[in-house]
């Protein structure tokens, strides 16, 4: 089974998610700086989510590069990942409009956690089909970033009810961690 | 005539349908759990429709794999299928916002029925062009799932006026039935 | 210069146009048949525009099949066509929400006319680059459908101020005319 | 690393940006010419932004044609460019709805400036990887258009607070400058 349509469909969904998120930033009616200022939290949450969706696209791209075989279960695991990512515009909008209030910030983290788990299921499903000696296995290695992300989300979510700045700082830290291009996969493929 | 652009266009439309459906889940203004709770029916209808559009993409992908020849009529049959699927965000939103009231639930089923019939027309149009000995013919087999789906929709639609939980249970049952990767097509292609 | 990205971009834009048009069909708040009934004009205008955008995608697909060379001017001619087509969701929504009132119906026709002229410019730009003996030239032939469409739009637009049913009938007639798969191009390519 | 998915993702994002911008042109409730007239500034800002996004797609297409090697940093530079372009529907809508008031017009220019700088970073990142003797280096040449654009934006942004017609005239001038197909790249590739 060809992986190209799965890539094309995922590219499409991710491209649309990243673009419709901006629709949550409603055009203000006034034309003054004060009108823009009210949009800060929505803008910040947009930037954070843009980074995350960009990272997922980037990692998905890298992951699929090393893949030779896909089947029906992989297509489902991919749809499962896309499901949690399609909720990002909603969780982003809710967090932004409520100025990073506790519950919306926790729910945002829950969505990131669910997407991280879905990505883990997808990548390990692929790993099982390619074997421990495959380029994919070498590329994923110990999947340190994937594991640390899940741990950090699990810490950040309850902390939203202590202070949301801590949770947002942790979400941002994970985004920055991933933003450094993944040398392992590039090296293993190179 | 090349099938690749028909695939690309269909991927695009399905990716957009699946992503804009989430726009029907309007970001609530409050930041409490109670504000989210009001969204349950919209969320549930989103999950159901995400499964359906995902299934259609999945099956469309499988179907086209075994296809060698397309022509103008096939393009039209494909557009016809996409037409009914583009209405899914509307029927989903209407059903969700009205908490699975009778008429919206019936109309949702009508849309699923129309899409199922359109898929039948498309797959049988392809079958006619490829012959009874083709990989496609073997892959489709008796098309048991396709036929049972139509029958179940026909039963579920009037039952919405008895109790919508029955209809929704039947819609969900069909979604679950299709979610099991289609061994027949994979076997015939393998 | 490769035509594949121009195709991919056009497919993307057309897929999005066809899908976001449905967003103009706002989900009604009530759950009764009367609530749906108010949507008839919006639904009818959606069906008409779906046919038109589908036809443009179809014809664009056929046209590009026979094309070997594109350049910067062709990319611009293609963007020009897409510009008029991106206005279709707006003109469709305006016509539908105003129950096919005179001015919106005339403006809808103007948009169709502009798109038809843009398609003419694109196809004749391609023709000039491929010569009178090319497969493209044979495929386009006398471009009877293209010419008759422009004439009919020119008649239908002012008639919207007499009776909009006449204009809509003419728009529909042209859509039906194009919906018959274009034998000429298929034959010339075959 | 393959450039094809980066192209596909960028095509997707640009296609969606260009199409959802039209959603800012809200369908007016009345059916008279006066109702349309109120949309002039929104329409004009749409046309300007359509030209800009079209130009970016066009240039991106040309740029990537001459590219052989991409890596993680290039993917990030590309995401960075897309980030500023995803804000165009917002800045366009704000400028249009406020009838080209000073601040929105300046912010619109700031977004164009940021996108121009991001494009510069992307193209020079690619240049560094391909060397001074590459087809890409010859194609970019002195990058006169890129440099003059940045200078003009820097002049146009503060002038918005003197008279916005000057800024808009300068934005339009740059759009027209780019609209002439880039002979340099085509010649170097030819």
Give the per-residue SS3 of B90-138: HHHHHHHHCCCCHHHHHHHHHHHHHHHHHHHHHHHHHHHHHCCCCHHHH
The confidence score (pLDDT) of residue D170 equals 96
The shortest CB-CB distance from D9 to any of A15, A36, A189 is to A15
Partners of chain D (3+ Cβ pairs below 8 A): A, C
The confidence score (pLDDT) of residue A188 equals 63
CA distance linking residue A122 with residue A85, whole number of Å: 14
Q: What percent of chain D has pLDDT over 70?
A: 94
The shortest CB-CB distance from D5 to any of A7, A21, A189 is to A7
Q: What percent of chain B has pLDDT over 70?
A: 94
The confidence score (pLDDT) of residue B140 equals 80
Q: Which residues of D8-35 are buried (b: 16+ CB within 10 A; e: fewer)?
A: bbbbbbbbbbbbbbbbbbebbeebeeeb
Residue D78 forms contact with A (CB below 8 Å): no
Could B13 and C15 be called an inter-chain contact, meaning their C-beta atoms sit closer than 8 Å?
yes
Residue D90 forms contact with A (CB below 8 Å): yes
Dihedral (Cα; C3, C6, C12, C16), 10-degree rounding: -140
Q: Which of B170-184, D68-82, D128-142 shows the highest mean pLDDT?
A: D68-82
Contact between C36 and C160 under an 8 Å Cβ cutoff? The reply is no
Residue C75 forms contact with D (CB below 8 Å): yes
CA distance linking residue C11 with residue D182, whole number of Å: 24
Mean pLDDT of B130-143: 82
Q: How many CB atoms lie within 10 A of CB C105?
A: 29
The confidence score (pLDDT) of residue B94 equals 95
Q: Which of A66-75, C108-117, C127-136 shows the highest mean pLDDT?
A: C108-117
The confidence score (pLDDT) of residue B145 equals 83
- Nearest CA to CA, how far is A45 from chain B (Å)? 14
What is the H or E stretch that residue D164 is in? helix D164-179
The confidence score (pLDDT) of residue B62 equals 81
Residue D34 forms contact with C (CB below 8 Å): no
Could D25 and C1 be called an inter-chain contact, meaning their C-beta atoms sit closer than 8 Å?
no
Residue C129 forms contact with D (CB below 8 Å): no
Q: What percent of chain A has pLDDT over 90?
A: 57
pLDDT: which is higher, B148 or A170:
A170
- Contacts with D20 from chain C: Cβ below 8 Å: 16, 20
- Contacts with A65 from chain D: Cβ below 8 Å: 1-2
The confidence score (pLDDT) of residue B84 equals 97
Contact between C120 and C84 under an 8 Å Cβ cutoff? The reply is no
CA distance linking residue B8 with residue D80, whole number of Å: 26
The half-sphere exposure of A119 on its side-chain side, counting CA atoms within 13 A, is 28
- pLDDT band with cut points at 50, 70 and 90 for residue A1: low
**Does residue B88 have a pLDDT over 60?**
yes
Mean pLDDT of chain D: 89
pLDDT digits (tens, 9 = 90+) for B100-116: 999 999 999 999 999 99
The half-sphere exposure of D157 on its side-chain side, counting CA atoms within 13 A, is 13
- Contacts with D32 from chain C: Cβ below 8 Å: 103
Cβ partners under 8 Å of residue A163, min gap 6: none
Structure tokens at B143: 């098309």
pLDDT: which is higher, D12 or C83:
C83
Structure tokens at C41: 């004009």
* Distance (Å) of CA A40 to CA A36, A70, C127: 7, 42, 51
What would the DSSP string read from start to end of D10-64?
A: HHHHHHHHHHHGGGGSPPPSS-SHHHHHTTHHHHHHHHHHHHHHHHHHHHHHHHH
The confidence score (pLDDT) of residue D187 equals 63
CA distance linking residue B154 with residue B148, whole number of Å: 10
**Cβ-based contacts under 8 A for chains C and D:** 82
Residue B122 forms contact with C (CB below 8 Å): no
The confidence score (pLDDT) of residue C79 equals 93
The confidence score (pLDDT) of residue B58 equals 85
The confidence score (pLDDT) of residue B63 equals 87
The confidence score (pLDDT) of residue B188 equals 63
**Does residue A184 have a pLDDT over 80?**
no
Partners of chain A (3+ Cβ pairs below 8 A): B, D
3-state secondary structure D51-120: HHHHHHHHHHHHHHHCCCCCCHHHHHHHHHHHHHHHCHHHHHHHHHHCCCCHHHHHHHHHHHHHHHHHHH
Mean pLDDT of chain B: 89
* Distance (Å) of CA C183 to CA B66, B83, B159, C58, C189: 25, 24, 45, 13, 10
- Contacts with B16 from chain C: Cβ below 8 Å: 15-16, 19-20
The shortest CB-CB distance from A54 to any of D16, D79, D89 is to D79
Least confident of A82-86, B164-168, B182-186, D62-66: B182-186
pLDDT digits (tens, 9 = 90+) for C67-76: 877 887 898 8
Q: How many CB atoms lie within 10 A of CB C14?
A: 26
**Does residue C82 have a pLDDT over 60?**
yes
The confidence score (pLDDT) of residue B183 equals 63
The confidence score (pLDDT) of residue B178 equals 83
Could B16 and C11 be called an inter-chain contact, meaning their C-beta atoms sit closer than 8 Å?
no
The confidence score (pLDDT) of residue B158 equals 97
Could A65 and D20 be called an inter-chain contact, meaning their C-beta atoms sit closer than 8 Å?
no
Could A8 and D8 be called an inter-chain contact, meaning their C-beta atoms sit closer than 8 Å?
yes
**Does residue B45 have a pLDDT over 70?**
yes
The shortest CB-CB distance from D25 to any of C6, C72, C90 is to C90
**Does residue A137 have a pLDDT over 80?**
yes
Q: Which of A148, A5, A175, A169 is nearest to A79 (CA)?
A: A5
pLDDT digits (tens, 9 = 90+) for A12-30: 899 999 988 998 889 998 9
Mean pLDDT of A62-68: 83
The confidence score (pLDDT) of residue D121 equals 94
Residue D133 forms contact with C (CB below 8 Å): no
Give the chain C residue whose CA is nearest to the CA of B24: C27
Mean pLDDT of C114-134: 91
The confidence score (pLDDT) of residue B184 equals 60
Q: Which of D173, D59, D138 is nearest to C72 (CA)?
A: D59
Could C61 and B76 be called an inter-chain contact, meaning their C-beta atoms sit closer than 8 Å?
no
- pLDDT band with cut points at 50, 70 and 90 for residue A176: confident
Rounded to two decimals, the ipTM of the complex is 0.88
Residue C122 burial (C-beta neighbours within 10 Å; 0-12, 13-18, 19+)? buried
Could A71 and B12 be called an inter-chain contact, meaning their C-beta atoms sit closer than 8 Å?
no
Q: Which of D180, D45, D171, D176 is nearest to D115 (CA)?
A: D171
What would the DSSP string read from start to end of chain A?
A: --SHHHHHHHHHHHHHHHHHGGGGSPPPSS-SHHHHHTTHHHHHHHHHHHHHHHHHHHHHHHHHHT-----HHHHHHHHHHHHHHHTHHHHHHHHHHTTS-HHHHHHHHHHHHHHHHHHHHHHHHHHHHH-TTSHHHHHHTT-HHHHHHHHHHHHHHHHTTT-HHHHHHHHHHHHHHHHS--HHHHHHH-
Could C86 and D50 be called an inter-chain contact, meaning their C-beta atoms sit closer than 8 Å?
yes
Domain range enclosing A31: 4-189
Contact between B189 and B65 under an 8 Å Cβ cutoff? The reply is yes
pLDDT: which is higher, C146 or A100:
A100
Could A15 and D20 be called an inter-chain contact, meaning their C-beta atoms sit closer than 8 Å?
no
Q: Which of A168, A172, A113, A169 is nearest to A146 (CA)?
A: A113
CA distance linking residue B10 with residue B63, whole number of Å: 13
Dmax (CA) of chain C:
60
**Does residue A141 have a pLDDT over 80?**
no
Structure tokens at A182: 């993944």
Cβ partners under 8 Å of residue B40, min gap 6: none
Could B61 and A76 be called an inter-chain contact, meaning their C-beta atoms sit closer than 8 Å?
no
- Contacts with C179 from chain B: Cβ below 8 Å: 76
pLDDT digits (tens, 9 = 90+) for C10-25: 988 999 999 889 888 8
The confidence score (pLDDT) of residue D139 equals 76
- Nearest CA to CA, how far is A60 from chain D (Å)? 10
DSSP code at position B35? H
- pLDDT band with cut points at 50, 70 and 90 for residue B6: confident
Q: What percent of chain B has pLDDT over 90?
A: 57
Dihedral (Cα; A132, A133, A139, A141), 10-degree rounding: 50
pLDDT digits (tens, 9 = 90+) for C23-56: 888 899 899 999 999 899 999 999 999 999 998 9
Query: Cα-flanking dihedrals φ and ψ of residue A29, to 5°?
Result: -75, -35
pLDDT digits (tens, 9 = 90+) for D126-174: 999 888 888 888 878 778 788 889 999 999 999 999 999 999 999 999 9
pLDDT: which is higher, A52 or B67:
A52
The confidence score (pLDDT) of residue C138 equals 81
Least confident of A3-7, A182-186, D22-26: A182-186
Number of domains observed in the structure of chain B: 1
C70: left (phi over 0), alpha (psi -120 to 50) or beta: beta
- Dihedral (CA of D110, D116, D120, D126) sign: positive
CA distance linking residue C75 with residue B101, whole number of Å: 49
Helices A4-20 and D4-20, axial angle in degrees (round to 10): 40
Q: Which of A165-179, B107-121, D139-153, D172-186 shows the highest mean pLDDT?
A: B107-121
The confidence score (pLDDT) of residue D59 equals 86
Could A101 and B31 be called an inter-chain contact, meaning their C-beta atoms sit closer than 8 Å?
yes
Structure tokens at B107: 């109309």
The pTM of the full predicted model, rounded to 2 decimals, is 0.90
């Amino acid at each position: 089974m060809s992986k190209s349509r799965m890539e094309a469909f995922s590219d499409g969904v991710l491209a649309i998610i990243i673009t419709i998120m901006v629709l949550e930033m409603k055009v203000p009616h006034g034309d003054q700086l004060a009108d823009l200022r009210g949009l800060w939290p929505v803008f910040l949450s947009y930037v954070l989510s843009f980074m995350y969706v960009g990272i997922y696209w980037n990692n998905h791209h890298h992951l699929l590069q090393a893949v030779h075989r896909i089947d029906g279960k992989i297509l489902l695991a991919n749809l499962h990942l896309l499901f949690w990512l399609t909720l990002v515009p909603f969780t982003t909008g809710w967090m932004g409009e409520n100025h990073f209030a506790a519950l919306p910030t926790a729910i945002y983290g829950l969505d990131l956690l669910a997407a991280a788990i879905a990505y883990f299921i997808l990548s390990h499903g692929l790993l099982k089909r390619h074997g421990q000696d495959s380029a994919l296995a070498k590329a994923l290695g110990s999947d340190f970033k994937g594991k640390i992300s899940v741990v950090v989300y699990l810490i950040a979510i309850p902390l939203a009810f202590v202070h949301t700045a801590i949770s947002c700082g942790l979400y941002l830290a994970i985004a920055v961690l991933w933003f450094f291009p993944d040398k392992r996969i590039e090296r293993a493929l190179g």
